[in-house]
Amino acid sequence: MKKLSKLLCAIAVGGFMFQAAAWEPSSEVKVIVAYKAGSGTDTGARVLSSMAEKFIGQPLVINNLPGADGKIGWTALIKAKPDGQTIGFINLPTFTTLATLNNAPFSVKDVIPVCNHLTETSVVVVNADSPYKTLKDLVAAAVKDPNLRCSTNGVKASNHTAAQLLAKSADFKYKAIPYGGTADQLLALRQKEVNFSCAKVADVAPLIKGDKPELRVLGVFSEERLKNLPDVPTLKELGYYDKWYGSARGLVLPAGTPDDVVKFYVDTFKKVMSDKAVQEAHEKAGLELDFMDNVAFGELISKQEKFCKEEISQLY
């Protein structure tokens, strides 16, 4: 027998027809972010959540659960009660990379896609005071010295993979230094604990602006130059990695969540991200809003899982 929540039924009472009420959250909604406050994921999550509350009808409360490259937060997410009161962000390809490891604490089947939120291009960055003025300068130094240090957001996490793609394509070796997340990784670069790093555009946006920028972008992982960084060359034009690489950040629910709950969130976040004020807020924050519904986002997760198995696994 199908669940009552799936039935589009009406109840006849005294000759009148009453449509069954659609599901909606009954109290505040917990939003799990697997990275610390101030990270790129956290920043995007807070911009979206703060503006989504009026559409959802309940407060959206960010719950930062950082650590273990994202595994702590995502393990908590998949174990949450599938009643619609807990939702969370995943990062691709980090989530799928971790999900494909031996003895992984979760798999892609443990989550139900809701929608994609952001798509962010990866970049290569150095400290603003770095002697490396161009990506060619950095590569030349790394070829001579395999002990140059690169901070990452965790072993085999998205920014570590970006560094590997650069190093493999430019034929150099380096020392990868893992930190708890992107915020800590970039702090290490700002404090000159490492020589370079790879992150996403939104992560570095606040650090490359103003009268005294703290970081300098040397290259972007894209086939064409980015409109918001028109003077920064692509890795492709410099003869290195020749494809787009970056991160998608989207919302998921724990496996087992009823269909009507999933539908509520898919429909609601489509309205949220179609709202002009929401779009302007993301643009102001330097965030690349990129809505995909649950079907398209599910296809992206599957493609990223394949990418992790067939390509990322060859980098380490």
What's the distance, CA 38 to chain centroid?
14
167 and 94 in a single domain? The answer is no
In-domain check, residue 83: yes
112 and 257 in a single domain? The answer is yes
111: which 2 tokens? 């989550």
128 and 214 in a single domain? The answer is yes
In-domain check, residue 197: yes
Q: Using DSSP bridges, classify how beta strands 149-152 and 196-200 pair: parallel, antiparallel or unpaired.
A: parallel
157 and 210 in a single domain? The answer is yes
Q: Which residues contact 151 (CB under 8 A, 6 or more apart)?
A: 177, 178, 179, 184, 185, 186, 188, 189, 193, 194, 197
Structural domain containing residue 72: 27-119+246-314
205: which 2 tokens? 């946006």
In-domain check, residue 275: yes
Q: What is the pLDDT of residue 286?
A: 80
Q: What is the pLDDT of residue 20?
A: 60
Residue pLDDT, tens place only, 226-246: 988 999 999 999 999 999 999
d(CA 114, CA 271): 13
Q: Which residues contact 79 (CB under 8 A, 6 or more apart)?
A: 254
Of the three residues 203, 220, 237, the one that is the final residue of a domain is 220
CATH number of the domain to which 57 belongs = 3.40.190.150
Q: What is the pLDDT of residue 180?
A: 78
The segments of the chain whose pLDDT lies below 50 read: 1-18
37 and 186 in a single domain? The answer is no
Q: What is the pLDDT of residue 183?
A: 87
148 and 189 in a single domain? The answer is yes
Q: What is the pLDDT of residue 19?
A: 56
Cis peptide before 93 (omega within 30 of 0): yes
**Would you give the DSSP letter of residue 284?**
H
214 and 286 in a single domain? The answer is no
In-domain check, residue 230: no
Of the three residues 220, 238, 268, the one that is the final residue of a domain is 220
**Would you give the DSSP letter of residue 21?**
P
Return the H-helix or E-strand segment holding 218: strand 215-220
Look at residues 219, 243, 215, 250 and name the one whose alpha carbon lies nearest to residue 232: 219
125 and 215 in a single domain? The answer is yes
The whole-model pTM stands at: 0.81
Of the three residues 220, 236, 266, the one that is the final residue of a domain is 220
Look at residues 293, 287, 232 and name the one whose alpha carbon lies nearest to residue 268: 293
CATH number of the domain to which 189 belongs = 3.40.190.10
**Would you give the DSSP letter of residue 240?**
S
Look at residues 89, 101, 95, 29 and name the one whose alpha carbon lies nearest to residue 64: 89
CB 51 within 8 A of CB 278: yes
Residue pLDDT, tens place only, 106-142: 999 999 999 999 999 999 999 999 999 999 999 999 9
Ordered DSSP codes for 231-246: TSPBTTTTTS--S--E
128 and 154 in a single domain? The answer is yes
Q: Cα dihedral sign for 28, 32, 36, 42? A: negative
In-domain check, residue 259: yes
SS3 33: strand
d(CA 15, CA 261): 30
**Could you give the number of structural domains in the chain?**
2
